[in-house]
Structure 1
Amino acid sequence: MISSDLKLRPLTTDDLSAILELDQACFGGLWTMEGYQRELDSPNSELLGLFSPLSTIKLLGMGCFWSILDEAHITILAIHPQYHRQGLGQALLYALLKTACDRGLERATLEVRASNLAAISLYQKFGFKTAGRRRHYYKDNGEDALILWLSELQYPQFQQTLDNWYINVSQQLSQFSWQLIS
């Protein structure tokens, strides 16, 4: 079986149309072009994209975090619906956490819909713990958000944890004929 290459890289202004297409497919238009442009321009924002040269869909996934003091606040983790449950979310979350660690950030946090059990399971697999709840956080339906937290990104053992995650993510991707390339 032939593997399809997956490339992770920072997103740029050249990717804006693909970013908006993915946003529409995943969120129904969460952010505007101007909102994404602000993210791309901000030195405190990290926006990563997941690409495959063999896919007809240009941008398979994207993730974003804001550097706030010593914290990576993950604002987006999106995988195109056609590519769910193939390990791409794991690859993207791994990349976000590795980037946060490389930037010297000490912890990661995010909000997730209380009903989004698949996402919660993914975050828990990566060590996130529930730190609280924001009542009626989501404007579209008044749903609560869970606040998830991962600390100790700068502890010496976290590098080993990252290495283990890389191995696990690579094995998961290979089951679906994906191969992460640098």
Structure 2
Amino acid sequence: MVKLTALQIQSLNLEHLSSLLELDQVCFDGLWTMDGYRRELESPNSHFLGIFPPFSSELLGMGCFWSILEEAHITILAVHPQYQHQGLGQALLYSLLKAASDLGLERATLEVRVSNQAAISLYQKFGFKTAGKRPRYYKDNHEDALILWLSDLQYPNFEQTVNDWYKMVSDRLAKSAWTLSLDETLDCK
């Protein structure tokens, strides 16, 4: 039997700033600046999570959402290229959506490049639906963005949905010898 390695998901803070910049550079070639990450980490409406291997400060992935009224607006989701296709993106998205639900938010939304089929597929696994398109949304190449929505984060059956997602995520991670361990002190402000 393969021994599973427990991934840690935890809230990020200013101590993680350099790791966020390094991951951003690898994943997005410098999408956000140091000041941008600092503002996100300091904002009371911003909820930033990171995924780490056990007993390590190596940031493998990151995800963030803004609390806007009753909505979680997912602003960033990234996994280091070395660790992609192992279920870490699913683990981060699951954690973001669970945190949003735990905060009492009712729905989630995000924008994604129309060409990013891997990300679109990930979001669809979690029930996101296309709500529209933002023409020429991305400044680097003027690519359109799809607007994706997920409702019902506070409906009674959502707890079962969260349990189903946890099983889906756990099964996917196990294929790559990972398991998920959520930080008990996960603080989403």
1:130-174 alpha-carbon deviations (Å, 9 max, x no partner) = 000000000111100000000010001011100110011011101
Runs of 4+ aligned residues of structure 1 deviating over 6 Å after TM superposition are: none
Tell me the amino acid that sits aligned with residue 42 of structure 2: D
Q: Secondary structure of the residue that 2:32 maps to in structure 1?
A: coil
Q: Which moved more, 1:146-155 or 1:1-10?
A: 1-10
How many equivalent pairs are there? 181
Could you state the TM-score of these two structures normalised by the residue count of structure 1? 0.97
- Rounded to whole Å, the distance in 1 between the matches of 2:23 and 2:55 is 17
- 1:4 correspondence with 2:1: no
Tell me the amino acid that sits aligned with residue 130 of structure 2: T
- Rounded to whole Å, the distance in 1 between the matches of 2:81 and 2:132 is 28
Matches within 5 A, 1:53-92: 53=54, 58-92=58-92
**Which consecutive unaligned segments of at least 5 residues does structure 1 have?**
none
Could you state the TM-score of these two structures normalised by the residue count of structure 2? 0.93
Give the drift of 1:54: 6.9
- Rounded to whole Å, the distance in 2 between the matches of 1:43 and 1:99 is 14
**Structure 2 counterpart of 1:38:** 39
Tell me the amino acid that sits aligned with residue 64 of structure 2: C
Q: Kindly indicate whether the alpha-carbon contact (under 8 Å) linking 1:4 and 1:54 is maintained by their aligned counterparts in 2.
A: no
**Which consecutive unaligned segments of at least 5 residues does structure 2 have?**
183-189
Identity of aligned residues (%): 68
Matches within 5 A, 1:94-173: 94-173=94-173
Tell me the amino acid that sits aligned with residue 37 of structure 1: R
Give the drift of 1:181: 1.3
**Structure 1 counterpart of 2:174:** 174
Q: Secondary structure of the residue that 2:147 maps to in structure 1?
A: strand
**Structure 2 counterpart of 1:47:** 48
Q: Secondary structure of the residue that 2:101 maps to in structure 1?
A: helix
